[in-house]
Chains A and B, each alone.
Chain A
Amino acid sequence: MNQRLTDAKSIYLQISQMIETDILRGILLEEERVPSTNELAKLYTINPATAAKGVNLLVDEGILYKKRGIGMFVATGATEAIRRRRKQEFYEVRLQELLHEAQSLGITKDELIAQINK
């Protein structure tokens, strides 16, 4: 939770991604409570409604779950689920961007593979 917010994308997405990253790194453990929306709001100096939107995104994806009256918790299996989804994003988004850039620079597939194998 110690990363900084940037201008580059929506604050609520950054909040949900930071929580995800903390789960991947073992900073937040499965079945452990995550900071409340008010705690997140204060930590990042953001509106609690924005923090809640980021947290709810993870609830919708089953990464976090709500215990009534206690707070939000990391779901069992969350680490694996995040890894799986990020892997998919890596192939579908980042790799495509990389291939697009390679294409516009006239880098061939063989040259690219040679670079990866170096």
Chain B
Amino acid sequence: MSKLVCENLTKAYGTKTVLENLQLTLESGKIYGLIGRNGAGKTTMLSIMSNQNPATSGRVTLDGENIWENRKALDRICFSRELNISAESGLAGYTVKNYLKTAASYYVHWDRAMADRLLEIFELKQKAKLGKLSKGMLSMVTIIVALASKAEFTFLDEPVAGLDVVAREQFYQLLLDEYAETGRTFVISTHIIEEAANVMEEVIILDKGKILLERNTQALVDSARYVTGLQEQVDGATGGLECHHAEVMGRSKGVTVLLREDEDLNPGFDVTVQPVNLQKIFVALCGEEVRT
């Protein structure tokens, strides 16, 4: 099994620390979801993990070897970024065809037949200029680059941004097809959490430049409870447990609890217990406390 590892990764721009002492291990053969609020550092992390951006300190290794300017390691990694069509990027004038040609020359395992097939599925015109494409169409181009790169470790940054709901579903189906066939490792960042929750085997939550949590998605969801009732009853049922995002309204209280293995709510209290989905867990962990 291959491992891509971040060791004490820190990134600062001047006095602003974007990533702080990150520790993360990606194991091959899994689909990871990367979630975090805007500005949490997701894109910076992925760009450092693919040698597109130097770390201020710390390092990234693939099977023990530093990936920095290491061609052999980088042949196994693809980071398909969100396409930025600003004047400075100089990409607006590229046709889809030329852009894919550039990608093909960069990724040694490029699958031309797959890229052509995906162009057809997404109904993208090869002669279209990137500057003329909609946000969703640009996302399709980044998806094509990611899938056709055939890289062992493939990162997709917001691949479904701007895609309509049918195209998003289509993307997850294509991803699962490719995953079933090859067992490649994918890291997918997204803000549309619930749609991706069941696809990601592991979830990584990044908050303010730090890894808040990295866990099996289903295990995390199974461990979460939303507990409501009379304040004293809720406090009794949840005392000593890991509680997040308490909301108090008059006499009533609601709180999200993450149970560790072998833990359960304290018995004997009159409370309502409900399951919590990944999106709600994320809000409970990264949102501000609400008091009304």
Please report A residues at the B interface, Cβ cutoff 8 Å.
5, 7-12, 38, 41-42, 44-50, 53
| Residues 167-226 of B at the A interface (beta carbon under 8 Å) | 169, 172-173, 176-177, 179-180, 198-201, 217-218, 221-222
Q: How far is the CB of A36 from chain B (nearest CB, A)?
A: 9
Is A41 within 8 A of B180, CB to CB? Answer: yes
Q: How far is the CB of B170 from chain A (nearest CB, A)?
A: 10
For the complex, give the distance between the alpha carbons of A46 and B173 in Å.
Answer: 9
Is B172 within 8 A of A47, CB to CB? Answer: no
Measured between beta carbons, the chain A residues less than 8 angstroms from B31 are: 47
Please report B residues at the A interface, Cβ cutoff 8 Å.
30-31, 169, 172-173, 176-177, 179-180, 198-201, 217-218, 221-222, 275, 277
Residue of B nearest to A49 (CB): B201
Q: How far is the CB of A62 from chain B (nearest CB, A)?
A: 23
Assuming A46-B198, A50-B198, A50-B201, is B176 touching A41 (CB within 8 A)? yes
Q: How far is the CB of B121 from chain A (nearest CB, A)?
A: 15
Is B198 within 8 A of A9, CB to CB? Answer: no
Is B198 within 8 A of A45, CB to CB? Answer: yes
Measured between beta carbons, the chain B residues less than 8 angstroms from A42 are: 173, 176-177, 180
Residue of A nearest to B217 (CB): A47
Is A46 within 8 A of B275, CB to CB? Answer: no
Is A5 within 8 A of B277, CB to CB? Answer: no
Assuming A8-B275, A47-B199, A47-B200, is B180 touching A53 (CB within 8 A)? no
Measured between beta carbons, the chain B residues less than 8 angstroms from A5 are: 198
Measured between beta carbons, the chain B residues less than 8 angstroms from A38 are: 176, 180
Q: List 27 A-B contacts (CB under 8 A).
A: A5-B198, A7-B277, A8-B275, A9-B275, A10-B218, A10-B222, A12-B218, A41-B176, A41-B180, A42-B173, A42-B176, A42-B177, A42-B180, A44-B198, A45-B172, A45-B173, A45-B199, A46-B198, A47-B176, A47-B199, A47-B201, A47-B217, A48-B176, A48-B179, A50-B201, A50-B218, A53-B218
Among B176, B177, B221, B275: residue with most chain A CB under 10 A: B176
Q: How far is the CB of A57 from chain B (nearest CB, A)?
A: 13
Is A48 within 8 A of B222, CB to CB? Answer: no
For the complex, give the distance between the alpha carbons of A46 and B201 in Å.
Answer: 9
Residue of A nearest to B30 (CB): A49
Residue of B nearest to A7 (CB): B277
Q: How far is the CB of A71 from chain B (nearest CB, A)?
A: 14
For the complex, give the distance between the alpha carbons of A45 and B195 in Å.
Answer: 9
16 more CB-based (< 8 A) A-B contacts, given A41-B176, A45-B172, A50-B198: A7-B277, A8-B275, A9-B275, A10-B218, A10-B221, A42-B173, A42-B180, A44-B198, A45-B173, A45-B176, A46-B198, A47-B31, A47-B201, A49-B30, A50-B201, A53-B218
For the complex, give the distance between the alpha carbons of A48 and B176 in Å.
Answer: 8
Measured between beta carbons, the chain B residues less than 8 angstroms from A50 are: 198, 201, 218
Measured between beta carbons, the chain A residues less than 8 angstroms from B198 are: 5, 11, 44-47, 50
Is B275 within 8 A of A7, CB to CB? Answer: yes
Among A5, A9, A46: residue with most chain B CB under 10 A: A46
Q: How far is the CB of A19 from chain B (nearest CB, A)?
A: 17
Measured between beta carbons, the chain A residues less than 8 angstroms from B176 are: 38, 41-42, 45, 47-48
Q: How far is the CB of A43 from chain B (nearest CB, A)?
A: 10
Measured between beta carbons, the chain B residues less than 8 angstroms from A44 are: 198
Is B169 within 8 A of A11, CB to CB? Answer: no
Residue of A nearest to B277 (CB): A7
Residue of B nearest to A50 (CB): B218
Measured between beta carbons, the chain B residues less than 8 angstroms from A48 are: 176, 179-180
For the complex, give the distance between the alpha carbons of A18 and B177 in Å.
Answer: 22
Residue of B nearest to A38 (CB): B180
Measured between beta carbons, the chain A residues less than 8 angstroms from B199 are: 45-47
